Structure 1
Amino acid sequence: MKKTLKESGVGTPINRVEGKLKVTGMAKYATEFPVKNKVYAQGINSTITKGEIISVDTSEAEKVEGVLAVITHKNAEKLKTFEEEMPELSTPSKAPVLQSSKVYYYGQYVGVVVAETFEQAQYAARLVKIEYKKDPDPTFQFDGSRSKAYTPEAQEDYLRGNIAEGLADADETLDETYTTPIEHHHPMELHAVIASWENGKVTAYASQQIVEDSIISISDTFQIPKKDVRIISAYVGGGFGSKLYTERHVILAVMASKMLGRPVQMTVTRQQMFTNTGMRQHNEQRMKIGAKKDGALTALSHETLSHTSTFQEYQEPCGMMSKMLYNVPNNQIKYRLIPMNFQTPCAMRAPGEATGSFALESAMDEMAWKLKMDPVEFRIKNDTQVDLGADKPFSSRLLIECLRIGADRFGWDDRPKEPRSRQKGNWLIGYGMSAASRNAPYQETAAKVILELEDEKVFATIQMDATDIGTGSYTIIAQTAAEYLDIPVEQVTVELGDSNFPITPGSGGSWGAASYCNGARAACESAITKLKENRNIDKDEEISVAELLKKNQLNRYEAEGTVAPSEEFEKHSVFSFGANFSEVWVDKDTGMYRIKRMVNVGSAGKIMNPKTAYGQMIGGLTMGAGMVLAEQTKVEPNFGNFITRSLADYHVPVNLDMANIDVIFLPEEDKIANKMGIKGIGELGITSVAASLANAIFNATGKRMRDLPITPEKLINAPLEPGVT
């Protein structure tokens, strides 16, 4: 029995429309397209942290059966390099590779082998002999390098009021530092590409989150017209920010294809995912907070010290939430960067909010403890309906409602008021909470709809270069078209990820749902409007699309629509808000702990599909738990390479690590955000989760954990906070 429109339109929890394709292996990812005459490339990585290549011997590798080329800086195509020193990393950035003998970090691509088979390329890559002249003074240790820190151009310092006066006016003050480690994205699908250079034109089947920006990156790097580059990214098996950028493996594959005249497939290995596809920076965040006895904040300072590469600048914006979440008259945000011999960091899983919220919401909990206030009431006391950082009103803000409803659902009133006061057997039991916010962007988006009339039924195809990174874009776009065309979702086909389709902002930053669905809506409305105008039908007259096509004597019709933020949008701050509640049990002897319960409440505009939205929130909560439980990339202290080199030692949460999870979406109408009232939720799910868990661990043990991840060893060795018995 087919679903009716009522069961499958906007707002209903239908199954993913692409689900069957995925579970049967029919959904084609980057390296699964049938490309004839394809060869394989394997990157060669540097084995020093800083220095210069003084000799390359490729003779042994070139003798291997099937090897077609060994490309190094000596014979590589000349590419466009950076025109300025330390340019800011952006999603359409150029990605020059193999352009000099210089080595800037351990694992940098210093060559690539191309062969008839993947195995031949891998084997031959090991036979290339490279001699280096090591620089005796690489920078890869955070401590000892602080004097090299500078103020990044990408993130300027911010100040409102006077921090010193605000702290002096406070009855209680806090000055603590919170640290988060280097982390890696590790989507399930490895970074990969099949690139073909033919008659000066490039076609790349690539795992990229933003198709248009990948075109810009390739065209700028090779200095060819944008129109001569086509990107196809039909399905992306996760990205978490790492596939926002066109990494060097894509450029290497395009280069090799140009040199050999054959399509080239290049897949980044799991080990290379640590050194060649970006990472989250190590962040050291100093928080200074002042408050009156009644809980009113007087000052909030958030200073972040991070690192970037020695050739490109990226700064994770950790202070974003501290700038806008609370009503504080004196506010300061500072960023400092240390150039280090690592690859350039990049956006990862709610960049800024995930890490910054750990510092902010941990510090807020610490201040509530100092004031002897309930942490929920402390946050409500400092609520604001104006974004003081941007000097704009919020389009909507239901943070108090998230806090109240979450506290009620979680049973917050049963929280032990004194840390270390609830015990069951050997387990210490604690409750923690945190507030969350995430910018809800909305960007210009174009879409095409193709209507076809067959046997009295209308079938619609929606086309746009948007990407689905596993979040359910195919499904909610199909639901949007079904809603606005008034046809069952089974009669809608969605085609994504091809640069021949209308341009969208791609997937990232929680802007996808709002942008894509409104783009699809605009295309459908455009088709209906034009078909009515052609027959002088009143724009408000209710008539089916099938009848419209008949009256126009058409069996097929195409229309495009484009949307962009309104003037009202620009006059407001548009955010999603949320609250996290956690229950943690800690073994008092071993420091081992279990997450028992999590409640997450979100106010994120119109929920297009509660089932896929719930899946996104589960993913975000799991990533937040991963920050606390285990995720960290360790640096070898003598050579500057990463000790963690695979998923065997870079640990992420599994089912047994997770809790009973309750996710609540508040009904919210925010038509300032966009006509459909959609806001992003993808990154809201991870935001502040780490703080909620750390705060629960404090409530259980009386120990403040300010350094992630929170390992049993750290927990056992940590002292009790002053005042805890």
Structure 2
Amino acid sequence: MQDVKDTTDPRASNKPGGGQPQQQAGGPPQPPQPNPGPSRQQALPYGIVGADLKEVTRRVPADEPPPLPENSKLKSIGKPVSRLDGIEKVTGKARYTFDVQLPGMLWAKWVASPLPHARIKSIDTSAAERYPGVRAIHVQERILSSAQLRDPKAEQGNRYPTIRYAGQPIAAVAADSPRAAEAAAKLIKVEYEPLPHVSELEAAMKENAPRVFPGPTEQPTTAGGGGAPPGLPQKGNVRGPDNKPRGVGPRGDVAKGLSESDVVIEAEYRTQVQTHVPMEPHGIVADWKEDGLTLYASTQFVSSVREDAAEMFDLPKSKVRVISDFTGGGFGAKYGIGNYGLLAIHLSRKAGAPVRMILDRREEHVSGGNRPNSIQRLKLGAKRDGSLMALQVQAHGSGGVAGGAGVGFCHSTLYACPNVTVEQYDVFTNAGPCAAFRAPGQVQGIFALEQTIDELAEKIGMDPLALRGKIDTSDTDDCVARAHERKIGAEKAGWNKRRPAGADKGPIKRGIGFAQSQWVYLVQPSSACEVRVSGDGSVEAFSSTQDIGTGTRTILAQVVAEEFGLRAQDIGSHIGDSRYPMGPASGGSRVTSSLTPAARNAAYRCARELASRLAPVFKANAEDIVFADGKVMVKGKSSSAMPFREAVKKAGFEEISHRAERREDYEGYVFSTPDMALSRHGIGGVQFAEVAVDTETGIVKVERVVAVHDCGRPINPKLTESQIYGGVIQGVSYALYEERHLDPASGQQLNANVDQYKIVGSREVPKIEVILLEQLGAQSSTDARGVAEPANVATAAAVANAFYNATGKRIRTLPMTPANVLAALRT
């Protein structure tokens, strides 16, 4: 047995996927650390199951359950259990926010600006007020999801918010029917003073470009990951640079490193704006009553909706209840109440009735959030043996009227390089605000970095996998995992049969490419779970966390079931209600890592108390009571076995209940706040893509993707694989199809629908093969991590590298539309 050393990478590579740098000056504040209480030295399994599993010692809180063995030795955890709510979903019984119908409910419709930049001179609602069926009208007093002037006096005073993008909400109407609400909204007269606007990234960067904001701005970070670092300089529309993405600052001397390099590669990459397009659009039903406010929300974080509503309407949190039974998808934009929720609550309070506000598809595209675009300029220096010497990155991106258009942290953290500088700039445009989007920034950054690394491999005559093996070499467990994943993926994908670039004859050319994925292992320390055992043998688990389609109900039930020797189907799994113990946000791949340890700890305490209640029934010591296969028995006495529910009834109690919060990782965190903690370890994976390129039409077809990923302990392999399928499909869609088009003259989005905004369809989905690594990190009572972000990160980069292998030409602009492909082939 051995002690595992501190896994923070001591070298300059500073990996946030497997060793973040220690907290830097000006970094996130450290909250007071709670007294950990009694603890014990505990031997725990560590490493990749089936490869290098060993035992290490950690100091573990004394009241935590014993360590779990690998999944093959468990009954519920690690098994491909079907979704517990699957039948509800396929039969239509599942109630999404879109489906909520309350007695006396009103329908709301907002009025949006047709202009991209203007001052509002007047608003006349009188005609709308007289329209039959109208019950309330509210004029927007503040705009959410946008940057704000550092000095409000920099802008001419006005009672109405300045219009900064076409589609910005101005007012809303609540009426007895959707038709009445829409008709009344059209009667609201708004007089505008048009202002000059700019909607394109490069145009906005020019010194004489119209100013989106008349002075410097700030935008605090949000639960969803939006916003921008405070205090950065701003000149015109350009804010930055941020040279410490995710707190990782520059290192070394880049100029010296480049001068000492044998090979220097310079390239420019461009990525597009991608809108979120969830299956269920943003929406809320607000029900304001004298005794409190109830919100039915399509959200990724029940608690952020409650906190926003309580703060903005000066209510105690106890008077705000948020319910999210089911949410039809969310990729980072469904946090807080949003402008639509703010309007709905105002209307409900005025009308004294519930109000339903659901965005239509145009509103969703324009206002619902997006992944920012980017222009990235990379300069990479290396030795002939592949050793990286220097990396210089300058990136400009636009999140419209919002900050947060960076390109991730991969340049400073994925590979060992002694000299690195990264400068990331926000460029404001008169366009709808960006929001976090499934690995915000990292998708764009990896697209450029992984192509540059492949280009280096060709320049020095080295296999791209061998080059990664040389530069992805820290001893952190995510780097170890990627080494295994490269080997497994190469074999599955037939990498050894890969031919030289452009080897195919004829117009259809095929190739195979590879890219690596990296994301951080996040934990929400405030996560909690309550487990109850009723006297009739019912077992239930409660957490306010929500399920956005990932299977949270099911994994919660599986973890609890393991402690009681029951099936997941035997557990009542209750989520999506702010009256339950606080659960984690569905963002940043943090739900499984945050919730499952709290759930297991609460279930373990319940099971131990239940064992003590059952000991007299079985005339045995409590420590000899065993729960297994739906039965209770005395250890070593199979003849004593009794069905679980029957045994519990004999114990003669009403209820046992225990609540547990997410404990700190056994090795602690790199840094933490009350809302988020960053582990010393990471998550990631590798992806291999096979493509076919029609060089006459410019059409690219992704034919196959092999995805090998790690996520700690997979609680449910079926659901984990489903996450990876979704990430790959979304990544292919981003790589080939999705792109927001704005008309420069009007600032209007030209494809704000689900027809002309192209998304991958069933015929375009490639064959996807998923291989999971079960990697135990000895960090928590479940050792579970997330997988949603890394499943998306590497896809576009892998497709781009496959494109090069097929054609011998680099494609540096996304999406890979026929026009962009044919342009790349002409270079």
Give me the TM-score of the superposition, normalised by structure 1. 0.90
CA shift, 1:81, in A, is 12
The corresponding residue for 2:431 is 342
The corresponding residue for 1:61 is 128
Q: Report if aligned partners of 2:107, 2:181 keep a CA contact under 8 Å in 1.
A: yes
- Could you tell me which of 403, 410, 415 is aligned with 2:493? 410
CA shift, 1:394, in A, is 4.8
Helix, strand or coil at the partner of 2:754: coil
The corresponding residue for 2:822 is 716
In structure 2, relative to structure 1, the CA distance for the partners of 1:305 and 1:570 (3 Å cut) is: same
Q: Report if aligned partners of 2:406, 2:426 keep a CA contact under 8 Å in 1.
A: no
Q: Report if aligned partners of 1:8, 1:14 keep a CA contact under 8 Å in 2.
A: no
Q: Say if 2:688 is the partner of 1:581.
A: yes
Q: Report if aligned partners of 1:157, 1:334 keep a CA contact under 8 Å in 2.
A: no
Q: Cα deviation per residue 1:297-324 (whole Å; 9 max; x = unaligned)?
A: 11122322122455xx531442312221
What amino acid maps onto 1:122 in structure 2? E
The corresponding residue for 1:448 is 530
CA–CA distance in structure 1, aligned partners of residues 410 and 345 of structure 2: 40
Q: Report if aligned partners of 2:695, 2:825 keep a CA contact under 8 Å in 1.
A: no
CA shift, 1:535, in A, is 8.4
The corresponding residue for 2:149 is 85
CA–CA distance in structure 1, aligned partners of residues 608 and 405 of structure 2: 44
The corresponding residue for 1:707 is 813
In structure 2, relative to structure 1, the CA distance for the partners of 1:81 and 1:662 (3 Å cut) is: closer
CA shift, 1:531, in A, is 4.1
Q: Report if aligned partners of 2:145, 2:433 keep a CA contact under 8 Å in 1.
A: no
CA–CA distance in structure 1, aligned partners of residues 254 and 550 of structure 2: 41
The corresponding residue for 1:254 is 345
CA shift, 1:214, in A, is 1.3
Q: Say if 2:383 is the partner of 1:284.
A: no
Helix, strand or coil at the partner of 2:489: helix
Q: Report if aligned partners of 1:244, 1:508 keep a CA contact under 8 Å in 2.
A: no
CA–CA distance in structure 1, aligned partners of residues 341 and 289 of structure 2: 16
What amino acid maps onto 1:353 in structure 2? Q
Matching of residues 130-169 of structure 1 within 5 Å: 130-135=190-195, 137-146=196-205, 147=207, 148=236, 149-151=238-240, 155=245, 158-169=249-260
In structure 2, relative to structure 1, the CA distance for the partners of 1:539 and 1:50 (3 Å cut) is: farther
What amino acid maps onto 2:489 in structure 1? G
> How many residues matched?
689
CA–CA distance in structure 1, aligned partners of residues 326 and 113 of structure 2: 31
Q: Cα deviation per residue 1:149-171 (whole Å; 9 max; x = unaligned)?
A: 12267946720111111111111
CA–CA distance in structure 1, aligned partners of residues 514 and 149 of structure 2: 43
Provide the alpha-carbon RMSD of the alignment.
Answer: 2.5
In structure 2, relative to structure 1, the CA distance for the partners of 1:669 and 1:145 (3 Å cut) is: same
**Structure 1: unaligned runs, 5 residues or longer:** 88-97, 387-392
What amino acid maps onto 1:579 in structure 2? V
What amino acid maps onto 1:378 in structure 2? L
- Could you tell me which of 772, 794, 805 is aligned with 1:665? 772
The corresponding residue for 2:99 is 32
Q: Report if aligned partners of 1:302, 1:319 keep a CA contact under 8 Å in 2.
A: no
Bigger drift between 110-119 and 242-251 goes to 242-251
- Could you tell me which of 593, 606, 611 is aligned with 1:527? 606
The corresponding residue for 1:694 is 800
CA shift, 1:7, in A, is 9.6
Q: Report if aligned partners of 1:305, 1:335 keep a CA contact under 8 Å in 2.
A: yes
CA–CA distance in structure 2, aligned partners of residues 99 and 405 of structure 1: 62
Q: Cα deviation per residue 1:225-256 (whole Å; 9 max; x = unaligned)?
A: 22211110111100111112421111111111
The corresponding residue for 1:389 is none
Q: Report if aligned partners of 1:8, 1:489 keep a CA contact under 8 Å in 2.
A: no
CA shift, 1:460, in A, is 1.2
Q: Say if 2:604 is the partner of 1:498.
A: no
CA–CA distance in structure 1, aligned partners of residues 118 and 317 of structure 2: 35
The corresponding residue for 1:480 is 559
What amino acid maps onto 2:176 in structure 1? E
What amino acid maps onto 1:433 in structure 2? F
Q: Report if aligned partners of 1:54, 1:101 keep a CA contact under 8 Å in 2.
A: no
Matching of residues 296-311 of structure 1 within 5 Å: 296-310=387-401
Q: Say if 2:362 is the partner of 1:271.
A: yes
Helix, strand or coil at the partner of 2:454: helix
Helix, strand or coil at the partner of 1:271: helix
Helix, strand or coil at the partner of 2:255: helix
Helix, strand or coil at the partner of 1:251: helix
Matching of residues 95-114 of structure 1 within 5 Å: 100-114=160-174
CA–CA distance in structure 1, aligned partners of residues 663 and 424 of structure 2: 31
CA–CA distance in structure 2, aligned partners of residues 407 and 80 of structure 1: 47
In structure 2, relative to structure 1, the CA distance for the partners of 1:624 and 1:81 (3 Å cut) is: closer
The corresponding residue for 1:223 is 314
Helix, strand or coil at the partner of 2:187: coil
The corresponding residue for 1:384 is 473
Q: Cα deviation per residue 1:406-444 (whole Å; 9 max; x = unaligned)?
A: 011100011112x21123x53111111111111121222
The corresponding residue for 1:23 is 90
Matching of residues 317-336 of structure 1 within 5 Å: 317-336=406-425
Helix, strand or coil at the partner of 2:371: coil
CA–CA distance in structure 2, aligned partners of residues 406 and 670 of structure 1: 22
The corresponding residue for 1:514 is 593
The corresponding residue for 2:181 is 121
Helix, strand or coil at the partner of 2:398: strand
Q: Report if aligned partners of 2:164, 2:431 keep a CA contact under 8 Å in 1.
A: yes
CA–CA distance in structure 2, aligned partners of residues 186 and 581 of structure 1: 26
Question: Percent sequence identity over matched residues?
Answer: 30
In structure 2, relative to structure 1, the CA distance for the partners of 1:566 and 1:114 (3 Å cut) is: same
What amino acid maps onto 2:387 in structure 1? A
Q: Cα deviation per residue 1:319-345 (whole Å; 9 max; x = unaligned)?
A: 312221111111222211122222331
Q: Report if aligned partners of 1:43, 1:109 keep a CA contact under 8 Å in 2.
A: yes
Q: Report if aligned partners of 2:711, 2:785 keep a CA contact under 8 Å in 1.
A: yes
**Structure 2: unaligned runs, 5 residues or longer:** 1-71, 152-157, 208-235, 633-643, 671-678
CA–CA distance in structure 2, aligned partners of residues 476 and 620 of structure 1: 19
What amino acid maps onto 2:624 in structure 1? E
- Could you tell me which of 347, 362, 366 is aligned with 2:451? 362
Q: Report if aligned partners of 1:61, 1:125 keep a CA contact under 8 Å in 2.
A: yes
CA–CA distance in structure 2, aligned partners of residues 178 and 65 of structure 1: 55
CA–CA distance in structure 1, aligned partners of residues 748 and 706 of structure 2: 39
The corresponding residue for 1:94 is none
Q: Say if 2:508 is the partner of 1:427.
A: yes
In structure 2, relative to structure 1, the CA distance for the partners of 1:152 and 1:471 (3 Å cut) is: farther
Q: Say if 2:538 is the partner of 1:459.
A: yes
In structure 2, relative to structure 1, the CA distance for the partners of 1:319 and 1:351 (3 Å cut) is: closer
- Could you tell me which of 271, 286, 294 is aligned with 1:180? 271
CA–CA distance in structure 2, aligned partners of residues 625 and 472 of structure 1: 23
- Could you tell me which of 536, 541, 544 is aligned with 2:624? 541
CA shift, 1:541, in A, is 3.3
Q: Cα deviation per residue 1:475-510 (whole Å; 9 max; x = unaligned)?
A: 111111111121122211111110000002221110
Q: Report if aligned partners of 2:741, 2:749 keep a CA contact under 8 Å in 1.
A: yes
CA–CA distance in structure 2, aligned partners of residues 99 and 211 of structure 1: 32
CA–CA distance in structure 1, aligned partners of residues 201 and 364 of structure 2: 22
CA–CA distance in structure 1, aligned partners of residues 625 and 528 of structure 2: 26
What amino acid maps onto 1:505 in structure 2? P
CA–CA distance in structure 2, aligned partners of residues 14 and 28 of structure 1: 22
CA–CA distance in structure 2, aligned partners of residues 574 and 647 of structure 1: 39
CA–CA distance in structure 2, aligned partners of residues 80 and 573 of structure 1: 34
CA–CA distance in structure 2, aligned partners of residues 170 and 542 of structure 1: 66
CA shift, 1:525, in A, is 1.3
The corresponding residue for 2:519 is 438
CA–CA distance in structure 1, aligned partners of residues 682 and 172 of structure 2: 44
